[in-house]
A and B are shown apart, each in its own frame.
Chain A
Amino acid sequence: MKKRVFVIKKRLWKDEDLVGFETGDTLVVKNTTPDVQIILSRTSGIITEINNLLCHAAIISRENNIPLIMGQAKVTSQLETGDFIEVDFDKKIWKKF
């Protein structure tokens, strides 16, 4: 499916960094923090650089049934907010549109 991405490049980010997030965006981050809570019901999925079953992103995605792809090294450098990607969360693959 085709999705617009919202990218946060900082490792340590806050809710104010989510300004401009649009409903249906896929969030692209190094990792999530508890501040992600405010957009959880509006995101189509999350892509992270970190890859660990107990990282924050993995926990919140299981708890809230949010599609997640982890372990995408340098993805926050490869994409910019507003870019579109073709993503398959089941197969854990994506490519820039």
Chain B
Amino acid sequence: MEEILIYTYRFDLEKLSQAIENLWSKYIHIIENKGCTEDEVYRARAILYFLGYLYSENIALEAIKNRLYDMSLEEFLIKADNGEIKNELTKFYEIVKSIKNKEYQGSYLGEKLFNKVYEEKTGNKSRHRLD
């Protein structure tokens, strides 16, 4: 997670992309391991929260906002999603979007498998009260 922040600060997109993939692989490795410990499951939970929400919806949003000088955040996102602009910032945005499209074993961010493992290892029925 530190590496992701470091490469976001430095805006080194190649290393950032690799760091995200490394963290994702670590997450998958934990939830696939039938013998994983409760501590490891909580590590997976931290990764899931970081990649799926904290980084992709907050830190990355701030990182984009801080690099915009001639247009609003909303304007940038609309133009980027419609392919009207192509630059380093849109490349960064594409990397962030790739997180939001990650699926594992047919579920978004592998959450189905994660929830199963989480329930087995921690005894907690659900992370989310309303599920």
Q: Which residues of A contact B (CB under 8 A)?
A: 10-12, 14, 33-35, 52-56, 58-59, 62-63
Determine the chain A residues whose CB is within 8 A of the CB of B58 once the complex forms: 52
A18 to B130, CA, bound (A): 19
Main secondary structure of the interface of B (DSSP, over half): helix
The answer to whether A53 touches B74 (Cβ under 8 A) is yes
A-B contact count (CB 8 A): 47
The interface bits of chain B over 72-99 (1 if a CB of A lies within 8 angstroms of the residue's CB, else 0) are: 0110011001100000000000001100
Interface window among B8-16, B33-41, B100-108: B100-108
Determine the chain A residues whose CB is within 8 A of the CB of B119 once the complex forms: none
Nearest CB to that of B80 among chain A residues?
A: A62
Tell me whether B70 is interfacial, beta carbon within 8 Å. Answer: no
Instruction: Count how many chain B residues have C-beta atoms less than 8 Å from C-beta atoms of the other chain.
Output: 25
Q: Which residues of B contact A (CB under 8 A)?
A: 56-58, 60-61, 73-74, 77-78, 81-82, 96-97, 100-101, 103, 106-108, 111-112, 115, 128, 130-131
The answer to whether B57 touches A14 (Cβ under 8 A) is no
8 new A-B contacts at CB < 8 Å, known A12-B107, A59-B97: A11-B128, A12-B115, A14-B106, A52-B57, A52-B58, A54-B61, A54-B96, A58-B77
